[in-house]
Amino acid sequence: MKEIIQLHDKKFRIMIPAEKIDEAVSAVAQRINQDYADKETPLFVGVLNGSFMFMSDLIKKIEFNNELSFVKLSSYEGTSSTGQVKSLIGLNNSIEGRHIIVVEDIVDTGESIEHMVRDLEARKPASIDVCTLFFKPGSYRKQLPIRYRAMEIGNEFIVGYGLDYDQLGRSLKDIYVVTE
């Protein structure tokens, strides 16, 4: 792996190698396997684009029968005076009565995940848990419990393993952190 990479105007240095990520994904998958062993066909809902790589590795370690789907929060200019409106696209089938595990790349302030969970709750699932690859405890501002956190980091900006800096860096198998 490269020690330093350049994406757009910024330099990033290696922070978490692929092997460490794999260990963290295995650990969180093991917890989910235990907690969900007796639940009726849970549905994993990945939030695009960032969660695609995490979902791919996580789901291979899941030992119970499951279903998988991806959603996207699309922002568009609303016609109302409130301006920006975000809507959830991609969930075409009913999730009523289902056990949902939302799979996220990173929870920072919690704004996005709270929005996502509120939207899903309105569709009356049996339960919702959140599983995020990264959690930033220093910037989280919400009350919503984040049950599964594969790794916790400081308030630094990272890329790789699905996470991007202005769309670059998603394909990296290791995690890089921005340098000052």
Active site residues: 108
In the list Mg ion, ligand IMP, none, the entry touching 157 (Cβ below 5 to 8 angstroms by class) is ligand IMP
**Cβ proximity to ligand IMP, 17 vs 97, nearer residue:** 17
User: Which residue in the set 108, 117, 130, 133 belongs to the binding site for ligand IMP (CB under 6 A)?
Assistant: 108
Is 108 a binding residue for Mg ion by CB under 5 A? The answer is no
Nearest-angstrom CA–CA distance, 10 and 118: 35
Q: Shortest distance, CB of residue 50 to ligand IMP, whole angstroms?
A: 5
Determine, following the binding rule CB under 5 A, whether residue 50 of this chain makes contact with Mg ion: yes
Binding site for ligand IMP (CB under 6 A): 50, 105-113, 157-159, 163
Binding site for Mg ion (CB under 5 A): 50, 105
